[in-house]
Amino acid sequence: MTSTPDPSKPDSSKPDPSKPEAGRGEPEKAGWLARKRARPGAGEAVKAEPAPPPPRKKRKTGITAMFSGLMTATVFLLVAVFAGVTIAHREFAEPGPLQTDKVVIIERGSTTEDIVETLTREGVVTRSSLLWAVLLWRDITSKFSAEGASRRAKSGEYLFRQSASMSEVVDVITSGRSIQHAITIPEGLTSEQIVERLMQNELLTGEVATIPPEGALLPDTYRINRGTSREALVARMASEQRRVLNEIWNRRAKDLPLRNPRELVTLASIVEKETGRADERPRVASVFYNRIEKKMRLQSDPTIIYGLVGGKGSLGRPISRADIDRPTAYNTYTIPALPPGPIANPGRAAMEATANPSRTRDLYFVADGTGGHAFAETFEQHNRNVARWRQIEAMRAATPAAPGLQPVPGAPAASSADGSAAPQVQGFVQPDRRSGATTPAPVLRPGGTPDPAAPQSAPQPD
């Protein structure tokens, strides 16, 4: 009877692929035992088999290696720069070594090394290497910056405050805010006298190649830096004179008998030399305008002096009768109307007064003993004023000056013709700024003719 195979049971007649093949002659049990025997027993040494070597890393070559190296170097560089900047910033903000305020001069033409050496020697900074690095960096970057020169250190005279930090020191020397000094040029000096004063000033440098024309400079107080060139200051004074004169000329009274701004400066220079009092200038100017209108000579003593000595300014002696009669291009006792040019450099106030004079009928003035003048419309009034001045002179001659005598309060000091202040004696001052003369000159009629009735010892009227 033939049996039908059960599909759920394994067929023992077919070889099992998980078991050793039938050709080995080993039953299933023998294969298990063989595997069991292969395991080491208790106490038996285990023979270690060498582990396979790790896979070898591939070396980076070419562009990859170069890029990797650059990235590594960049990282290290950035870290170093950040650390350096942090340390430098902290040191820059720390108070400096100065115990008190100090003025230091950085000479013109100094290099970065010179500047660092100067500031270190003067005790302004201690970390000279750090300051040198900062200034050098600023010099380099200034070439590529829109700020340009504002980033570089500059020569000059600088004030460094107590405990100034290095950051403040760098700000000071790169800003160019050096110490400002005042130079005052008095009104009424000639151009030659002004140049002489500038040459004597040790704050200035260089020479003045050519003395400027008379009346071309504006007397004033100018603020300068140490080391400013004299030529630069003269050019600045000339520029200011042109600017101020243009403004005053545009605001002048329209009925003045002046043809151009130069004539305004010429008459203003005479007014400047005649009186040192600001309140008198418009009235003195009116006297000269009234004389011009009446075709009278101006008869101004300062014009005599300028005609004789020119830009030197001072005659060095009283005006004599021969000086008055001596014709020169500037002597307004011998020429009609205005001289050919200014006799000094007038200030702004004198030019303003000449451009807008007082409205008077005065034709004469003479010193009144108080630093001012007595004005008169007629020659008779003027002679009376002259007589009063003779009495004042007599009192001065009879009362010698005591040592250490103090001037009378409120009495203004007059000036001599060269612009220097005249001494006060017993409350009286020198009569005016005209000539500094001590010997009276003859009284003249309008037009310059001597008056026979006038005492010849009387002081000369203007």
pLDDT tens track for 188-246: 999 999 999 999 999 999 999 999 999 999 999 999 999 899 999 999 999 999 999 99
> Residue 73: helix, strand or coil by DSSP?
helix
Q: Which residue has the higher pLDDT, 384 or 24?
A: 384
Domains in the chain with CATH codes: 84-175 (3.30.1490), 180-462 (no CATH)
pLDDT of amino acid 455? 33
Q: Which residue has the higher pLDDT, 440 or 43?
A: 43
Q: How far apart are CA 458 and CA 462, in angstroms?
A: 12
Q: pLDDT confidence of 7, banded at 50, 70, 90? A: low
Q: Which two tokens stand for residue 243?
A: 């600017």
Model pLDDT for residues 116-168, shown as the tens digit of each residue: 999 999 999 988 888 898 888 888 887 777 666 677 888 899 999 999 998 89
Model pLDDT for residues 435-450, shown as the tens digit of each residue: 333 333 333 433 333 3
Q: Which of 139, 199, 135 is nearest to 167 (CA)?
A: 135
Mean pLDDT of 99-122: 92
pLDDT of amino acid 229? 95
Is residue 429 a contact partner of residue 326, using CB atoms and an 8 Å limit?
no
- Range in 4-8, 208-212, 293-297 with the lowest mean pLDDT: 4-8
Q: pLDDT confidence of 42, banded at 50, 70, 90? A: low
pLDDT of amino acid 75? 76
pLDDT of amino acid 307? 96
pLDDT of amino acid 71? 77
Q: How far apart are CA 318 and CA 195, in angstroms?
A: 25
Residue 412 backbone dihedrals phi, psi, to 5 degrees: -70, 145
Q: Which two tokens stand for residue 66?
A: 């170069």
Model pLDDT for residues 255-284, shown as the tens digit of each residue: 999 999 999 999 999 999 999 899 999 999
Mean pLDDT of 38-61: 63
